[in-house]
Structure 1
């Protein structure tokens, strides 16, 4: 398992790419797109099939990124639950 900092380093910002929206490892895959898919009950396996350049750690990084960015307690609990589900796979 990677460290928190190592995971968060997978999330990149580039004002010239996707309007500066957080992406994964410099690719044009937005963190928000992965989070939306997870919210729609798309499994991490399906996401990895749909995006062959992604790694499981990228999905974990998206969840950690969202967890760190929210101050809404109910949303924090939901994201934490998704993280626990992901780690059991």
Structure 2
């Protein structure tokens, strides 16, 4: 397993490319597309077959990126 920083370095955001949305390694494959595909019960193996330029670590990176984006401090009231 790669360390978190190595995984997150696979996620890129380039102004003008895919509307500035997070993508995988500068390609026009958006993180959100991979996450939605996983949510539709498509297996990582099937995703890798459909997108031959992707690597298993790219899918891990998408999941980690999403997990970190939704993690926020909650203040108990």
Report the TM-score when normalising by structure 2.
0.91
Q: CA deviation at 1:71?
A: 3.8
Q: CA deviation at 1:70?
A: 0.5
Q: CA RMSD in A?
A: 1.0
> Which segments of 5 or more consecutive residues in structure 2 lack a partner in the other structure?
73-77
Q: 2:62, 2:71 → 1: CA distance? A: 16
Q: 1:49, 1:36 → 2: CA distance? A: 16
> Which segments of 5 or more consecutive residues in structure 1 lack a partner in the other structure?
73-89
Structure whose CA Rg is larger: 2
For residue 43 of structure 2, what is the aligned residue in structure 1? 43
Please list, as runs of the form range in 1=range in 2, the aligned pairs for 1:19-58 lying within 5 A after superposition. 19-58=19-58
For residue 7 of structure 1, what is the aligned residue in structure 2? 7
The count of residues paired between Structure 1 and Structure 2 equals 72
Q: CA deviation at 1:18?
A: 0.3
Q: Per-residue CA shift, 1:60-88, capped at 9, x if unaligned?
A: 0000000000148xxxxxxxxxxxxxxxx
Q: Identify which of structures 1 and 2 has the higher relative contact order when contacts are C-alpha pairs closer than 8 Å and 6+ apart.
A: 2
Report the TM-score when normalising by structure 1.
0.79
Q: 2:26, 2:16 → 1: CA distance? A: 11
